[in-house]
Structure 1
C-alpha cells in the first residue's frame, strides 16, 4: 500500500492558501496562524526555506520564485533517486 507524500501535500496546501489570499508580495502580506500541528510544521519548513517571508509585523507572503525553485529541486532529487534504484535493479538482474 502506497503512502501519500504528506510533507509536499501539506506544503502545497499552505502555498495555495497564500495564493488564494493574494499574498504574493510584501504589500499583500497577510497574518497567518497555523491551525493544526501539520500546518505548523509545513509553515516552519517553508519559513526556513524563505518561501514564506515576513514583513516583521506578523504578516506573511509567498515568495513565488523560491517556491518554484524548491519544487524543482525536489523533482530533481526524486528523478535521481529513481535512476539510482533502477540502476541497482538492473545491476542485480544482470548478476
Structure 2
C-alpha cells in the first residue's frame, strides 16, 4: 500500500499559501500560524532552509528562488534513488 509523501505535501501547501497571499517579498510579508502539528514541522523546515524569511516583526514571506531550488533538489534525489533501485533490481535479476 502506497503512503503519500506527507512532508513534501505539507511544505507545498505552506508555500502555496504564501504564493496565494502574494507574500513573496519582504514588503508583502504576512503573519502565519500553522494550525496542525505537521504544518508546524514543515514551517520550521522551510524556515531552516531559508525558504521562508522574516521581516523581523513576526511576518513571513516566501523566497521563490529558494523554493524552486528546494523542489528541484528533491526531484533530483527522487530520480537518483529510483535509478539506484532499478539498477539493483536489474543486477539481482541477472545473477
Structure 2 length-normalised TM = 0.98
Cα RMSD over matched residues? 0.5
1:17 pairs with 2:24: no
1:34 Cα deviation after fit: 1.1
* Equivalence map 1:64-83=2 (5 Å): 64-83=64-83
* Equivalence map 1:1-95=2 (5 Å): 1-95=1-95
Runs of 4+ in structure 1 off by over 6 angstroms are none
Structure 1 length-normalised TM = 0.98
Count of aligned positions: 95
Gaps of 5+ in 1: none
Gaps of 5+ in 2: none
